[in-house]
Structure 1
């Protein structure tokens, strides 16, 4: 039986480890970060300034601990054109995570005002599909900090199942390189964060799920070219003053308006909006504007770089104009409208299908695979978690078939 190493414990890594362990395969998952309770995940943010601020976390479970629990299918048609049919895997994931909109009891006053105002302007928002258990969720506005009630699915659930089926999980251990003597996968080298000791893990198959920043670095350690075409799903939050709305306590991003391939709008609170308005958090109403930015960035030996292009700026301006109109219609004072700086939350594209990996997510080095947002052909401009889960499920089936 093949010994399989999975690098990274976020959406892709946890899923592929779980699926392979359930099939009785010998799996070791290696994670750079440490294990933390979900409610402490905000302590693990290690954001990067790459031209825009790039939000990311390093801990067991990765960014899934600080998502808003959004479950939308992204890039399904693009993957289909590349020979990757994810329809079955999407259905599997949606059933397992019980994906669906939250009940009306979980929609706060601010979100309802935004959705009603959007509809009156002809920009009708749908309820955001979520992987949140409404029976456990008490709206508190802390989704992006780590759920204090574990009401939101995170990859910690899949990691627990993987362990139950025999997977070995190693945390606090950054992978420094992939070992490929004579062009064959041999395993990985890790550096123990606690004692600084290097160690080799031997494996026949390595699956990289360490995200669009670390994955290309590891691919280059194996002699492969990767790191171009970085996107980050650039976003801002536009907000204004509506006294006493208490929007900051609501479930984040509970509504969704999509202008296909241009931008999405979603109710969203950011503490960055309070300072320019010199008001407290209870008086802010906000909308996130997220665009599918151009793949104009890169990850290379000298660092991470991503600048907004003229097209990105145009899309963001269009989205912000719509957000401002909705907020004004919802009752926010128009002379208080401000925007946060541009940030990015979904890096990807640095090991794209058709360029760095094939339709089975395999590199030109046999048995070296990638299952994270690195393989996306373009920016989704919307939360990618569901698609990463589907890709990882599909890859696990392929790996199992190779070992039968």
Structure 2
């Protein structure tokens, strides 16, 4: 049996792939099984650093914007990790593609037109959203009310159909080790005996489990830091559109249409037009047993401020009142790097403890600066083949 800790993009993909191969799999998930539309109830944010996370079956994939961008493919190849064919397979299965024009709202169209008039190259964001099911409502980050967006919970359901077991509301506590190899896992439901354990609990919890097992993890935290810049444009109705439905890629920065309730808490949300500015931040943070530490470097601040200035110019050209422009504080979208390949895991994502693997964003060697879901899934597919070959 293989024990998988976590049911997000990495854990769910791994569990499904192994279960399809006829391998016994048990998934340990800290959160509950909820409907897509209730995923927002499972948001959890640490007090010390503003990093968005969701604890439920399927993890944060239930509250993403459905963005499907290939990231770090060449970087990982330098570490001996080739995920090209796995990315191809995932894109085909999830039917990744651009949404039709019918799903582009007025606010997004105005942002695109304004950006292009400033000489910026804009492309539509590739999505894993079924356009036939999607009725633009702006609720992607709360959980899709029509289940039009792929989430890792679908893979968990398929894994269960093939014989896997999912134990929800169960906390993974400590790795059981004998003679330098994995022997099992201690959980809030008791001990499980097994010689293969895969941690996919996310870049905050995975390194904590590793540290309790004596592995030097938790360093090098990145989080794809972002801010949302916006202002007032009466009656634009942008809050009800498909979010992040366009993409502007600059050096170390991406810009995308994005609504945030944090910008104008007392204003009618239908009057707000805004954009996300996201950077590939430096690995300047760390995860400790009881706290998370993240510093923004001079480079990070420069990228954020430069991106925010460009976003402000776009929004002004789109009709937003220049005197109304404001920005949120920096937040984290995609924490990772805390059990990096080449540092904590090898090219097969195995730690120094035999039989203990990692399959989440912890293993990414640098910040992608864009959603890493496809890359995490590809790494999990590759790991599933490796585990199947050694069992």
Quickly name the TM-score band, shorter chain normalised: over 0.9
| Match status 1:76 vs 2:67 | no
Is 1:292–2:280 an aligned residue pair?
Answer: yes
3-state DSSP class of the match of 1:274? Answer: coil
Show CA shifts across 1:16-41 (max 9, x none).
Answer: 00000000001111101111111000
Cα distance per residue 1:201-225 (max 9 Å; x no partner): 1111000000000000111122111
Give the counterpart of 1:20 among 12, 18, 24. 18
Match of 1:398 among 380, 386, 391: 386
SS at match of 1:178: strand
1:113 and 2:110 matched: yes
For the residue of structure 2 that corresponds to 1:272, the secondary structure is coil
Structure 1 partner of 2:130:
133
- Matched residues in 1 for 2:14 and 2:38: separation? 25
Map 1:304-319 onto structure 2 (within 5 A): 304-319=292-307
Q: Is the 8 A contact 1:216 1:227 kept in 2?
A: yes
Q: How does 1:266-305 map to 2 (within 5 A)?
A: 266-275=256-265, 278-305=266-293
* Match of residue 252 from structure 1: 243
Query: 1:4, 1:206 within 8 Å by CA — same for their partners in 2?
Result: yes
Q: Answer yes or no: is the 8 Å Cα contact 1:115–1:124 preserved in 2.
A: no
Q: Provide Cα deviations, 1:35-81, integer angstroms capped at 9, x if missing partner.
A: 1111000010011133x411111111100000000000111111011
Alignment match of 2:309 (pick from 300, 315, 321): 321
| Counterpart contact for 1:8–1:208, Cα < 8 Å | yes
| Partner of residue 358 from structure 1, selected from 346, 349, 354 | 346
Residue in 2 aligned with 1:195? none
Name the SS of the counterpart of 1:316 in structure 2.
Answer: helix
Cα distance in structure 1, aligned partners of 2:123 and 2:184 = 46
Paired residues, what number?
391
Q: What's the TM-score once normalised by structure 1's chain length?
A: 0.96
1:349-402 C-alpha deviation (Å, 9 max, x unpaired): 000000000011011111110000000000111011111011101110111111
Compute the displacement of 1:341 (Å): 1.0
Query: Once the 2 structures are TM-superposed, how far is the Cα of residue 169 of structure 1 from its aligned partner?
Result: 0.6
User: Which whole-Å CA distance do the structure 1 matches of 2:2 and 2:223 have between them?
Assistant: 29
Matched, 1:123 2:114: no
State yes or no: 1:209 paired with 2:206: no
Question: Residue 344 in 1 paired to residue 332 in 2?
Answer: yes
Distance 2:129 2:289 in 1: 39
Structure 1 segments of 4+ aligned residues over 3 angstroms from their partners: none
1:150 counterpart = 2:147:
yes
Residues 313-356 of structure 1, C-alpha deviations (whole Å, 9 max, x = no match) = 00000100110000001111111000011100100000000000
Determine helix, strand or coil for the equivalent of 2:175: strand
Corresponding residue number in structure 1 for 2:51: 54
State how far apart, in whole Å, the 2-side matches of 1:183 and 1:189 are. 17
What is residue 196 of structure 1 aligned with on the other side? none
CA distance in 1, matches of 2:348, 2:293: 28
The corresponding residue for 1:335 is 323
Asked whether the equivalents of residues 141 and 251 of structure 1 are also in contact (C-alpha less than 8 Å), the reply is: yes
Q: Of 223, 226, 232, which residue of structure 2 is paired with 1:241?
A: 232
2: CA distance between counterparts of 1:135 and 1:214? 37
The structural deviation recorded for 1:183 is 1.5
- Partner of 2:179, secondary structure, is helix
Question: 1:11, 1:212 → 2: CA distance?
Answer: 12
TM-align CA RMSD: 0.9
Residue 224 of structure 1 pairs with residue 215 of structure 2: yes
Structure-2 separation of matches of 1:322 and 1:201: 53
> What 5-or-longer segments of structure 1 have no aligned partner?
193-198
Residues 244-266 of structure 1: CA deviation (Å, up to 9, x unaligned): 00000000100001113x10000
Report the Cα distance in structure 1 between the residues aligned to 2:34 and 2:289, rounded to whole angstroms.
30
Give distance in 1, aligned partners of 2:186 and 2:120.
51
- Post-superposition offset of 1:302: 3.6
TM-score, structure 2 as length reference:
0.99
Write the distance in 2 (CA, Å) between the matches of 1:272 and 1:22.
43
**Which runs of 5 or more residues in structure 2 are unaligned?**
none
